[in-house]
Structure 1
Amino acid sequence: MADEGVIPEVEWPARPDTSLALNRMGTFDWDLDSGQMFLDATALEVVDLRPDEFTGTSAGLRPRLASGEEARLDARVAQALKAGRSHYGAYVRSRRRDGSRGWTHIQGHILRDPRGRPYRIIGIIRDAAHDPGEPGAGGERDEGRRRLTGVVERTTAILAHARTVNDVTDVLKDPEALGHLGAVSIMLGVVDGARIHLVAEGQLGSYVPEIEYTRIDAALPMSEAVRNLRPVYVGSREEFQQRFPQLWPYIEPLAVQSGVYLPLIAQGRPIGALGLLYTWDGEFTAEERNVLMALGSGIAQSLQRAILFEQEHDLADGLQRAMLPRRIPEVAGARIAVRYRAARMGRDIGGDWYDVIPLGGDRVGVMIGDVEGHDTDAAAVMGQLRIALRAYISEGHTPGTAMARASAFLRELQTDRFATCTYADIDLGTGMARLVRAGHLDPVVRRGDGSCHRVQVAGGLPLGLPAREPPEGGRSGGSGYPVASLELHPGDTLLFCTDGLIERPGGDSDTGMREFMEAVRNGPVDVEELADVLCDLVGDAGGGDDMALLLLRRRGTPAARGGGPLSHSLTPGDPHAPSMARHLIRAAAAAWGAFDQADEIELAADELMTNALVHTEGVGHISMRLTGEGRIRIEVEDTSSALPRRREAGDWAVSGRGLMLVDRLADAWGVEPRGSGKCVWCEFSVPGRAPDGEAPGGEAPDADAPHTEAPQAGAPHAEAPQAEAPDTPAADV
C-alpha cells in the first residue's frame, strides 16, 4: 500500500495500489467469522472516515451511510451468500462529514471453504460520483427512481391487506415498510371534524406532542396540507423556524433537517395527512415529489377503506347489540355473566344471542342460540326468534314445548334460515335444571371442586327444520325435543356458548373445545372473571364468526352430597312401575338420613303417583332429590292440564283423601303448571341435616348464599286451586 500523502511521481507502469488510489478506489477485507473488517487508507478517504473513527467492523461504516442504505446493503450481501455466488456489487447513498450526499460503489469477492461455507469477503470501495449511467452523477436519478418506486409498490402491497386504522398505522410504524424513504419519523393524522388527530408516529421517537390534537386552521404544516389540499415541503431547519414558529420548539432538539407533509385525499376531500421528517436538508426533486404524491394517494385509499370498515363494523355491532337484552336482571341465588363479541370478517353481524328470563319464585330461564348466516337478515331473525321463545317460556310452557313452538314459528317466517339453541329452566332453590337442546353445543358444568364436564343432552333438530319424533326413551311430551335433568349444587357453574368461541382457523373444533374445557377447569371462580378468560381464547381478532357466552353460578358454598337425584318413569299398564318406585323412594330416604320418616315419604309419594296414573292419560314421571335447604323433594309430572283439588270424602267413599294425606304428612306441597302438563310436588324436612353451605348452628358461611325461610308445616308453596275453568275436568285424588 502506498504511503499517505501526495505521490510525487508515478512509476511506469503504475503499481496497482497507485492506480487504485488515483481513481479513489480503496480496498477492504472482511472476516465473516470474527466480524472484523480492514479498510485501507484510500477506502477510509472514500467514506470520509479518519482512522481513529473506524471501529474495525462493518458497523463502523454506519455513520457514513444514508438512512435505510445499511439495511439494503445487508440484504444484498445476504442474498449473495445464500445464493452461493462469488461476487456482489451495490451502489449506496453516502453521507459526508459536512452533510453533503454522494454515491459509493461497493464490490466484493466471496471466499468459501471446501464445503462451500463463506468465511471471508475481499473487495473494493470506490467513489461513484462520476459514474456515467450509474447512480453517481447522471445515474442518480435512475437509481432514486427505482428505489422510491419500489417503496411505493411494497407499501401499497402491504396496505392492501389493512382492514382497520390500526392496521394502517402498524404499517407506517414499521421501519421496514417505509425505511427506504430515508425518513427518521413518520406521522399519520386523521381528520376528525375541525381537528386533526395524530393516530400514529414511528421511528426514532421523533414525536411532536403539539400535533397530537390540532385544529385544521392552525399554523402547523400538517394543518396547512389538509387546509390547502397541497403538500408542504420544508427544506431546512431555518425554514422550519421561519414558517412554523409554533412547531419549532419541538423540532429544535431533534436531528431533523427537512420534512414533507402530504394531504391524504379520498373522493375529493381530505381524510388525513402524512408527515415525513428527514435528517438531511435540501430541496426535494421533482421525481421524489411525484413518488411521494403517489405514496400519499395509496395511503389515503387504504385509510379510507379502514375508516369505512370500522364505521360499518360499529354500525353492525350496534345493531346486533340492540337485538340483545339491554340488561341482565339480577337473580337471587345466582350470579350470571354474559358476553358478546362480533365477528371480524364479512359484514361483522350475525345471529348469536343470549337471554335470561326470571320465572318467578326461585326459577330462572337461561338460553343461548345462533341463527344461520352473517348479515342483517340473520340479526333480524335472531331478534324475532329470541322474543318469541321468551314469550313461550313466560307463558309457562315446558322447555320441550317452548322449543317446538319456536321451531314452528321460525318455519312460518319463511326465511329459509335455521337456528341452534339451548335452554335451561333452573330452580335455584333446589338446584334442579331442566335442559333442552336444538342442534346446539352441549352445555358445560363446572362443579364446586373445580371438576368440569360436558352435559350430555339428547337434543333435537335445529329450530326451523321439520320436526321429528323423539328418540326412544326420550321424555319430551311429543315435542321432538327431549328434556334432560341436571342438579346444580351450590358453587356449581353452568356454561353456554356458541361455536364462535370453539371454532379455530382451519375448522379444528376439537382443539377449540379442549382449550375451552381447560380454561374452564383452571379459570377463576368469579363468573365475570371467568367470562373474560374464555373470551381471551379467541382474542380481539376473533375469527369469521361472532360469539356469545353465558355463565350461571349457583350461590353458596360447595358441600358434600349423600347421593344423586332419583328419577323413574310411570307407564300406564306397567304393574311393576309403582312398586319399583316405592322401593327406590324408601331406599333413598334412608340414605339421606330420613329412615324414621320413610313410611310417611313413601305414602305421600304413592298418593301422588296414583293420582297421575288413575286420573291422567299418558306417561308420568316421578323424581326425588335432596334440596340445597336440606329437604327431600318429590315431584310427579304428567301431561294433563287438569289441576288437582282437595275435596271432602264421604264415610264410604273410596277416593278423595289423597291430598288430605299429603297435606298432613308433608311439610309443604304445591302444584306447578308446566305448559302442556303439570307437576305436583311435596317436601319433607330431614332432622339433623343443615342446608347446603350452612353450619349445624344455622350460620351460612357464604354471604352470597340466598336465605330461604322454610315454610311452616302444612303450608304449601303454591295454593291448590279451589275451582276449575269451564270444560276442564278436575283430577280427583
Structure 2
Amino acid sequence: MERYGDVAALAYLPLTVSGRTIGCCVLGYDRQRPFAPEERAELTSLAGVVAQALERARLYDANARAARDLQAGLLPRTLPRLDGLRVEAHYQPALTVLDVGGDFYDVIRLDESTAAAVIGDVQGHSVPAAALMGQLRTALHSHAQGGASPHVVLAHVNRLLDDLDTDLFASCVYAHIDLRHRHARLALAGHPPPILRHPDGRTTVLRLPPGLLLGVEPDARFHTTEIALPPGSLLALYTDGLVERPGIDLDKAVGDLAERIAEAASDPLHLLPTRLLRSAGGPHEPGANSDDIALLLLQTEEHR
C-alpha cells in the first residue's frame, strides 16, 4: 500500500469489451468505506462505459493507420529519373478525415528525353475512391506508354470510368514533357490550372481549356495545349486541397500560390514543397487542411 500514499480504500474495475479484458480502472478513496450493492452496480456500469470508449479510440487509431498505409501503398514509391529533369513530389493526407483519399500523382518515363507527368483527384474519401485511383493510375500508365497525345489519353481513361459504371468522378492533369525539343503538351479534365515558373522567375497560371471531370460524359472531348519549357522552367501540378479554403476565392488562391512559387525562385527545389504546404496550414494551425494535398514539381535543366 506504500505506493498509494494516503489512499484508504480502492476499487478495481476490470475494463472488459466483447469478453476481452483490455485494462483496469483503479479508483482510490481517502477514507475507508464499504461498497453498497447499488454503488458496485454503478461502478461496474462506469467500467463498461470507459472500456467501450477506449475500444472505440483504439479502433479509430487502427483505422487511421490502415487508411494511411493504404494511401501510401497506392502512390509511387519512387519516381523515374531523366537527364535534364528534376522532380519533387509530396502527398499530405487530410488532417480532419479518417478515410483514405483519392489524390494521386505519377511520373512515367517514356524514353531518355520524354516523360508523362500526371496528377489527379478522385472525389471522396473512401476505399472505393482509393481503388478507383489505383485503376486510373494503371490506365494512365498503359495509354501513356503508347505515346498518345494528352487529350487522347484522357479520353481513353474517361471511357474507362464509364465502363466501370462508377458514381465517382475524377479530375486530372496530364502533361507530356519533351526535354529534347523543350516543350510540354498538357490536357486538363476539370482540374485546377498548372502553374509555370519561367527561367527569369516570373510565374504564369496556365489557363488551359478546363475540360469535364473524368466520368461525367463518356464522349467528352479534351484539348491539348503546347507550352515552351526551356531549361530553368518549373511546372507545378497540384490538387485542390492546396488552394481551396472556405470563404476564399479560388482564382485568388491560385494566384497567391503562383506568387509564392515566384518568391521561392532562388530556393532549392527540394525545399519548395514544404514552403507551399506550410501555407495550407499545419496540424495545429487554424488553416489546417481538411482535404488531401498532392503536389508535383518538375524543373527542367540543360539536357546533357
Calculate the TM-score normalised by the size of structure 1. Answer: 0.37
Aligned to 1:540: 283
SS at match of 2:54: helix
Shift of the 294–501 alpha-carbon distance from structure 1 to 2, 3 Å rule, reads farther
Assess, with a 3 A threshold, how the Cα gap between structure 1 residues 506 and 396 changes in structure 2: closer, same or farther. same
Shift of 1:540: 3.4
Q: Distance in 2 between matches of 1:449 and 1:293?
A: 72
Tell me whether 1:503 sits opposite 2:244 in the alignment. Answer: yes
Give 1:489's aligned amino acid.
P
Equivalent position to 1:377, from 118, 128, 135: 128
2:102 aligned with 1:339, yes or no?
no
Q: Report the alpha carbon displacement of residue 455 of structure 1 after superposing the two structures with TM.
A: 1.2
Q: Measure how far apart 1:364 and its partner are.
A: 1.2
Q: Match of 2:170?
A: 419
Q: Which residue of 553, 556, 572 corresponds with 2:299?
A: 553
| 1:584-663 to 2 correspondences below 5 Å | none
- In the TM superposition, what are the counterparts of 1:342-491 in structure 2 within 5 Å? 342-345=93-96, 347-466=98-217, 480-491=221-232
Counterpart in the other structure of 1:162: none
Distance (Å, rounded) in 1 between the aligned partners of 2:224 and 2:296:
20
Secondary structure of the residue aligned to 1:550 is strand
413 and 447 in structure 1: CA distance in 2 versus 1, 3 angstrom threshold:
same
| Mapped partners of 1:382, 1:420: distance in 2 | 11
In structure 1, the residue matched to 2:81 is 330
| Alignment map for 1:7-156 (pairs within 5 Å) | none
The residue matched to 1:311 in structure 2 has which SS? Answer: helix
Q: How far did 1:315 drift? A: 1.6
CA, structure 1 residues 504+299, in 2 after alignment: closer, same or farther (shift >3 Å)? farther
Structure 1 residues 299 and 513 mapped into 2: Cα distance closer, same or farther (>3 Å)?
farther
Q: Determine which of 270, 275, 279 is the counterpart of 1:528.
A: 270
How big is each residue's C-alpha offset from its partner over 1:703-723, in whole Å with a ceiling of 9 and x where there is no partner? xx542xxxxxxxxxxxxxxxx
Structure with bigger RCO (C-alpha 8 Å, 6+ apart): 2
- Contact 1:266/1:301 (8 A) holds in 2: yes
**TM-score of the superposed pair, with normalisation by structure 2:** 0.82
- The aligned counterpart of 1:66 is none
The alpha carbon displacement at 1:368 in A equals: 0.4
Are 1:316 and 2:67 an aligned pair? yes
The 2-side partners of 1:284 and 1:400 are apart by 80
1:519 Cα offset (Å): 3.7
Corresponding letter in the other structure for 1:442:
P
Cα shift at 1:346: 5.2
| CA distance in structure 1 between the partners assigned to 2:282 and 2:254 by the alignment | 16
Identity across the alignment (%): 38
**CA drift at 1:546:** 2.3
Check 1:258–1:545 CA distance in 2 against 1; reply closer, same or farther (3 A cut): same
**Aligned-pair distance for 1:515?**
5.3
1:495 shift after superposition = 1.0
Q: Secondary structure at the match of 2:210?
A: coil
Aligned 8 A contact 1:444 1:455 in 2: yes
Distance 1:512 1:395, change over 3 A: same
Structure 1: segments with no counterpart, 5+ residues: 1-233, 242-255, 470-479, 556-704, 708-733
Paired amino acid for 2:227: L
- The alignment covers a number of residue pairs equal to 295
Greater Rg, structure 1 or structure 2?
1
- Structure 2 distance, partners of 1:382, 1:482, is 22
CA distance in 2, matches of 1:289, 1:450: 73
More off after superposition, 292-301 vs 389-398: 292-301
Deviations 1:67-105 (A, max 9, x none): xxxxxxxxxxxxxxxxxxxxxxxxxxxxxxxxxxxxxxx
- 2:231 is aligned with 1:494: no
- Is contact 1:461-1:467 (8 Å) kept? no
Instruction: Measure how far apart 1:340 and its partner are.
Output: 1.9
Contact 1:333 1:429 in 2 (8 A): no
The verdict on how the C-alpha distance between 1:428 and 1:263 changes in structure 2, with shifts beyond 3 A counting, is farther
The 1:283–1:408 alpha-carbon spacing in structure 2 relative to 1, beyond 3 Å, is same
Match of 1:240 in 2: 3
Q: How far apart in 1 are the matches of 2:129 and 2:7?
A: 54
RMSD: 3.2
Closer/same/farther in 2, CA of residues 489 and 285 from structure 1, 3 Å limit? farther
Provide the residue aligned with 1:96 in structure 2: none
- Would the aligned equivalents of 1:333 and 1:706 in 2 still touch at CA under 8 Å? yes
8 Å contact from structure 1 (residues 502, 512) kept in 2: yes
Q: CA deviation at 1:439?
A: 0.8
